[in-house]
Amino acid sequence: MHKIRPISFTFLLSLFYLTTFAQQLATIKGTITTSNGKPAAYISVGLKGNGNGTTTDDNGKFTIHRVKPGTYTIKASAVGINASEKSVTILAGENKTVDFVLSENDQALEEVTVAGRNNRYKISLPSASLRLNEPLLEAPQNIQTVSDQVIKDQQIISMSDGLIRNVSGAVRVEHWGDMYTNITMRGSQIQAMRNGFNVVSSFWGPLTEDMSFVDHIEFVKGPAGFMLGNGDPSGLYNVVTKKPTGFNRGEVSFTLGSYDLYRTTVDFDHKLTSDGKLLFRLNGAVQNKGSFRPYEQNDRYSIAPVLSYQITDKTKITAEYTFQNAKMTEVGSYYIFSPNGYATYPRELTMTQPGLPATRINDQSLFLNLQHNFDDNWKLTAQAAYFNYQQVGMSSWPSAVNTNGIVIRNVGIWDAASSMKLAQLFINGQVKTGGINHRILAGFDGGNKNYMADWGQSHNLDLPTSPFDLNNPNYGFPSNGYPNFDRITSLEQRAINAGGLMDSKYLSAYAQDELGFFNNKVRLTLAGRYTYVSQSAFGAAADKAKKVTPRIGLSVSIDKNTAVYAVHDEAFTPQSGLVRDGGKVEPITGTNNEIGIKKDWFDGKWNTTLSAYRILKQNELTADPTNTPGQNFSVVLGEKRSQGIEFDLRGKITDGLTLIANYAYTDSKVTEVTPGVSGINVGDVIPGFAKHVSNAWLTYTLQEGMLKGSGISAGFTYLADRATDTWSVGLQKLPNYFKLDGGLFYERSKFRITGNAFNILDKYLFSGSYYQWLNAYYYQAEAPRNYRVSIAYKF
């Protein structure tokens, strides 16, 4: 005890020193206008020789934070205009205002505005929630970002709405419609994150996010567990939500689409105080959405207010609340079961029953984030989150499928509740020792997750004497009537009876030092993480595990635009499940190795990343191939290996021409089988991925003439050698997949019209697998050719 006191005292003295003696930083704000008084948007503003800069918004406003006292030359510039410079002296703690008037008028700058928007496909810096204090080019990790402009151009309205086409190797084989996202990459399902928190509380993932409150999404590929705590070594995606920007602006948009899609979104961003210390942002959406299948609905609304307060020049607090409400057709209604193979019935066929109550979901989250800058080099971040999920609904799955297409439809109750309490504390710092630069990251993660579900009640809609005929469907009153499930008994008791309880408690501590040599051209990352987790699922006893795992990475800048990297870490992912013999479930272990090269082209206008990886995982749980309906047993897979190559390109190729293109080759197989496991053999393909995945999205914007600001977009997705989503491969493989989309748009300073056509070739697209217990194939068809038109107005 006495040994701890001197250490604590020294730490407090150090903290006091950093807080007291760090220089008081200043802020430079201003507005850039044209010669005729119009705001100049997307103008680069920076301090010459300093590297600190930003870009003006649509109102021509800019803010440069954390400026040391001194005399600087501020430069405003953009491609195709004459740069303007001013000299300014900054005092400690000062809020300086510097305005520019450019000699060009607003017509001459319109090309700059359009080009600025088009180049927003490429993002060069990670979000603060990834904890990386460096450009993406320098990080020893493959990280791909889907920007807000991509989301708007492709008219993406949720996480499961075509977003993964923008990232190499990402697929959704079995996806429960628009309820859960469930993305597979590098041979495994990747973890879902939001603002740096792992938001998975069950095997089905969180409710898919509505894009109205999403700013951008970061896909961290490969060994990502160290970066954000517990997660699969194949990677993660991190949803970054919209925050106040300090500018008074807003946008409202309206979308109409095929199959009764009606959608309205509002984005309101405003300063609540004249000094800009108290900021507010509100995003909301209302959506009615039908389907090409009858009796289906996906109606939603969401609201996401955010408050941000600059307590001092160095300390900022942000509070964020998000509420999503979904009213959907029961889970599983999207699937067709066929005894004769895939796609044997019309796309419009449905096995749901009109009159069944909709599944209703309320999903809420609260974030609190506190950031304190000790000085230019050290920053402390503390954040906490609370998630609450409530579901009242059902799932549908047949209880019998006969060879003549006669089925007995069944619906089961699926009421669920989830709560998560999460906290993080970490510090980013930068120091120099001799000629070595150190980028320091250290912190703690902790969380408590609970999930309960009642799936223990079911009801056959059809009688054996009056079944449902897939060849001649009848949607009248079901022969066995509608279900009357027990919802009087508490959900907790029903979940206990059904074995539907899951919980997870975890605590981790980590430290990382990135050592920069030769003026930071060579960067060596050394890191370690301690993890403790206690998890249980399906009524099994809690499985506890703890371990220290190392991580090493190397990144070398060949020149200012090119870097090569290599990374190695050890997998340690605690897991929970129920095995038939009641044995103990061990954590996932293994190794992760990756090499790659990143390059910015033509002054950073576009970027490419090429990577190769090999992941070995031992002890991973997978669904028992011999399960019958209602059973949740798992088997322990001996070892699996995932390896492959990935290529990503994104950015502005030339003025007005932007491109996102990617390709991935994935090979994921079983290399060892645990003795006693049946139905799985060495060499078997791991379910849930495609060996070849290729995507592209090309946009061209006219740069001059009467139609300046209008343009055309087109893109495709191609999947080859697709694996099914279960170990029961049946008699047929999934066919190759090709989808072509495209559209037109017109944009001026205040409004934008976007129209897209999806599945232009009107192909019968689907995913699915073989269900051995029913001796039938099941598949989920995608929509035929369909359309969306959006009108957005900025104010």
Long-range pairs for 254-258: beta carbons < 8 A, 24 or more residues apart = 254/790, 254/791, 254/792, 255/155, 255/157, 255/788, 255/789, 255/790, 256/788, 256/789, 256/790, 257/289, 257/786, 257/787, 257/788, 257/789, 258/292, 258/783, 258/786, 258/787, 258/788
* Nearest residue to 734 via CA among 683, 772, 689: 689
Q: From CA 795, how far away is CA 751, in angstroms rounded?
A: 9
681 CB burial (10 A radius; 0-12, 13-18, 19+):
exposed
pLDDT along the chain (795 residues), means of 10: 42 42 71 77 74 71 83 72 78 85 54 44 83 86 92 91 92 75 86 89 80 94 63 83 88 97 96 90 97 95 97 94 96 90 94 95 96 91 96 94 94 95 94 92 93 94 96 95 96 92 90 93 93 79 81 93 92 69 71 93 89 89 69 77 96 91 95 81 86 96 88 96 80 91 92 96 93 88 96 93
Other C-beta atoms within 10 Å of 771: how many?
19
Q: Quote the pLDDT of residue 223.
A: 66
Residue-level pLDDT at 65 = 78
Residues 124 and 137 sit within 8 Å (Cβ to Cβ): yes
Rounded to whole angstroms, the Cα distance separating 522 from 531 reads: 29
pLDDT attached to residue 227: 59
* DSSP symbol at 466: B
Name residue 431's beta-bridge partners: 438
Q: What is the pLDDT of residue 581?
A: 66
Extract the runs of DSSP E, i.e. beta strands, from 118-181: 142-146
Per-residue model confidence (pLDDT) at position 122: 81
Nearest 10 degrees: CA dihedral of 464, 465, 468, 471? 120
Q: Which two tokens stand for residue 572?
A: 């340690």
Do the Cβ atoms of 236 and 228 come closer than 8 Å?
Answer: yes
Count CB atoms within 10 A of the CB of residue 38: 16
Distance of CA 281 to the CA centre of its chain: 21
Is 649 exposed, middle or buried (CB count within 10 Å of its CB: 0-12, 13-18, 19+)? Answer: buried
Q: Which residues contact 597 (CB under 8 A, 6 or more apart)?
A: 562, 563, 564, 565, 609, 610, 611
> Could you please report the per-residue DSSP string of 236-285?
EEEEEEP---SS-EEEEEEEEETTTEEEEEEEEEEESSTTS-EEEEEEEE
Q: What are the tokens at 748?
A: 């001026």
Q: Of 418, 439, 442, which Cα lies nearest the Cα of 510?
A: 442
Tokens of 765: 């697209």
Q: Which alpha helices (DSSP H) does 444-551 contain, by range?
A: 491-498
Residue 660 host element (H or E): strand 657-672
DSSP code at position 358? P
- Give every CB contact of residue 698 below 8 A, 6+ residues apart in sequence: 657, 658, 659, 660, 713, 714, 715
Q: Is the CB of residue 293 less than 8 Å from the CB of residue 349?
A: yes
**Residue 433 identity (one-letter amino acid):** T
Nearest Cα neighbor of 585 from 513, 535, 644 is 535
